[in-house]
């Protein structure tokens, strides 16, 4: 998937992945996609909840070898 | 849609209890909430310039696991809980427990309190310090970080009365 910016939140724990993502979303334009890497298992539910509450669209969530990849489209 | 609002009263002044208000406030801000924290009684320690005053005490806290943040896995899994009577007479026990806790926090990729507090401030979380307790405890405004407002219970209610979420921590 194409993306405009990548955020490496691996090794960070709650609530840092969400806070860093919020900041990163502030640095892209509306409609652009942010790719987020995380190792926090709690971030799967957290990013879904973040998207639902902020209106930014969570395009996909994937897991491979304990690493999570999210693609989020800025509102 | 109106902006959602959250108010927190922070009343605890230890390292462990510093986390809930700052985690919730910074996350709420990231979710678009207008957020305010009212610091009162021991909670005032959370807005001191010098955050090294924040310690964690295992004394009288049976829920706190005492584990080592280094060494092989079997060693890290040992629980070193000691009877209160022994903890109470070892000088510097809290300092050691605090140092170990800070190491555990860093090992787990959990933010430090200075970092979380800064993230709250960047996200424009409003900090109000209870003026009554500032005087009661003999603090000066110069003991606290910049950007604080000072007020009383009525100041808290002005914002809290309009919130969607209101927590006492």
Q: A60 phi and psi, to 5 degrees?
A: -160, 155
Distance from CA of A15 to the nearest CA of B (A): 6
Task: Tell whether B31 is within 8 A of chain A (Cβ).
Answer: yes
Section B69-77 average pLDDT: 91
**Residue A14 DSSP SS3:** coil
Shortest CA distance to B120 belongs to which of A16, A57, A4, A50?
A: A16
Question: Residue B40 domain-assigned?
Answer: yes
Q: CB distance A13–B110 less than 8 Å?
A: yes
pLDDT digits (tens, 9 = 90+) for B107-126: 999 999 999 999 999 999 99
Question: Residue B70 domain-assigned?
Answer: no
Question: Residue B93 domain-assigned?
Answer: no
Distance from CA of B46 to the nearest CA of A (A): 18
Task: Tell whether B26 is within 8 A of chain A (Cβ).
Answer: yes
Task: Tell whether B113 is within 8 A of chain A (Cβ).
Answer: no
Question: Residue B147 domain-assigned?
Answer: yes
ipTM rounded to 2 decimals: 0.86
**Residue A54 CA: distances (Å) to CA of A19, B41, B123, B161:** 13, 34, 15, 24
Total number of domains constituting chain B: 1
- The Cα–Cα gap between A19 and A25 comes to 10
Q: B51 phi and psi, to 5 degrees?
A: -85, 0
Arithmetic mean of pLDDT over chain B: 94
DSSP B144: B
B82 Cβ contact partners less than 8 Å away, ≥ 6 residues apart? B58, B66
Shortest CA distance to A39 belongs to which of A14, A21, A75, A57?
A: A14
pLDDT digits (tens, 9 = 90+) for B57-68: 989 888 888 889
Whether A14 sits among the annotated catalytic residues: the reply is: yes
What domains lie within chain A, and their CATH numbers?
5-73 (3.30.110.40)
Question: Residue B41 domain-assigned?
Answer: yes
Question: Residue B134 domain-assigned?
Answer: yes
**Domain ranges, residue B35:** 5-53+112-168
Question: Residue B72 domain-assigned?
Answer: no
Question: Residue B163 domain-assigned?
Answer: yes
pLDDT, position B1: 58
């Amino acid at each position: 998937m194409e993306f405009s910016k990548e955020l490496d939140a691996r090794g960070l724990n709650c609530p840092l992945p969400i806070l860093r993502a919020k900041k990163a979303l502030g640095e892209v334009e509306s409609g652009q996609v942010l790719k987020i890497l995380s190792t926090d298992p709690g971030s799967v539910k957290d990013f879904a909840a973040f998207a639902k509450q902020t209106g930014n669209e969570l395009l996909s969530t994937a897991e491979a070898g304990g690493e999570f990849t999210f693609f989020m489209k800025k509102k | 849609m109106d902006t959602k609002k959250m108010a927190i009263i922070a009343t605890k002044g230890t390292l462990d209890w510093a986390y809930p208000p700052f985690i919730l406030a910074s996350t709420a801000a990231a979710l678009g909430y207008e957020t305010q924290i009212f610091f009162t009684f021991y909670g005032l320690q959370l807005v001191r310039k010098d955050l090294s005053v924040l310690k964690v005490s295992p004394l009288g806290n049976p829920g706190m696991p005492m584990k080592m943040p280094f060494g092989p896995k079997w060693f890290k899994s040992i629980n070193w809980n000691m009877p209160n009577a022994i903890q109470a007479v070892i000088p510097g026990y809290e300092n050691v427990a605090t140092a170990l806790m800070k190491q555990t926090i860093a090992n787990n990729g959990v933010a430090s309190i200075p970092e979380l507090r800064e993230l709250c401030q960047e996200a424009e979380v409003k900090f109000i310090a209870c003026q009554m307790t500032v005087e009661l405890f003999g603090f000066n405004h110069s003991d606290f970080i910049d950007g604080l407002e000072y007020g009383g219970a009525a100041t808290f209610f002005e914002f809290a009365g309009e919130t969607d979420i209101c927590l006492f921590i």
